[in-house]
Structure formats: C-alpha cells, structure tokens
C-alpha cells in the first residue's frame, strides 16, 4: 500500500513527493534497505577473502603470467 493511501485511510492529507522525501519514514526505510545491501556485499567480500584457496590460480600474484599458473 502506498504512503498516500495509508494517509487517506487514517483521515490525513496526501503528501507530495518532496514532502515524503523529507519525511523521517522515507529516510528510515531507505537506510534500512541500504544497510541490508551493504551487509550482504560486506559478507561476500569477507567470505571471498577467507574462503579463497591458497595457491589457486585465482590468487596468483598479478605480475606472474598465466603460463606459470596453468590457466592459459
């Protein structure tokens, strides 16, 4: 249900886009969404660091050519 529909059902006036963007409800919901996105990206980064196999071709030093790692 949209915010304005909820407002009308509660007997309050509908708000404009700018009024909604400046409301605390908009920012609370936005930061909750961003927080979950950052948390999931952070978890992927941390897991990719700790779960990477040592000595695998994907973790070779950048300056070593592919022919020395078996990928090529």
Cα radius of gyration rounded to whole Å, the chain: 24
Q: Tens of pLDDT along 28-70?
A: 888 877 888 888 999 998 888 777 766 666 666 667 777 776 6
> Is the distance from CB of 21 to CB of 14 less than 8 angstroms?
no
Lowest mean pLDDT among 3-12, 16-25, 37-46, 58-67: 58-67
What pLDDT, on the 0 to 100 scale, is given for residue 57? 60
What pLDDT, on the 0 to 100 scale, is given for residue 53? 66
Q: Name residue, tokens 């941390």.
A: 46
What pLDDT, on the 0 to 100 scale, is given for residue 41? 92
Task: Estimate to the nearest angstrom the gap between the alpha carbon of 1 and the chain centroid.
Answer: 24
What pLDDT, on the 0 to 100 scale, is given for residue 63? 75
């Amino acid at each position: 249900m949209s915010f304005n529909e909820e407002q009308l059902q509660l007997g309050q006036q509908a708000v404009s886009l700018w009024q909604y963007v400046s409301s605390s409800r908009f920012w609370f919901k936005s930061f909750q969404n961003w927080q979950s996105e950052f948390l999931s990206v952070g978890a992927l980064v941390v897991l990719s660091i700790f779960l990477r196999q040592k000595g695998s071709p994907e973790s070779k030093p950048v300056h070593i050519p592919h022919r020395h790692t078996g990928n090529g």
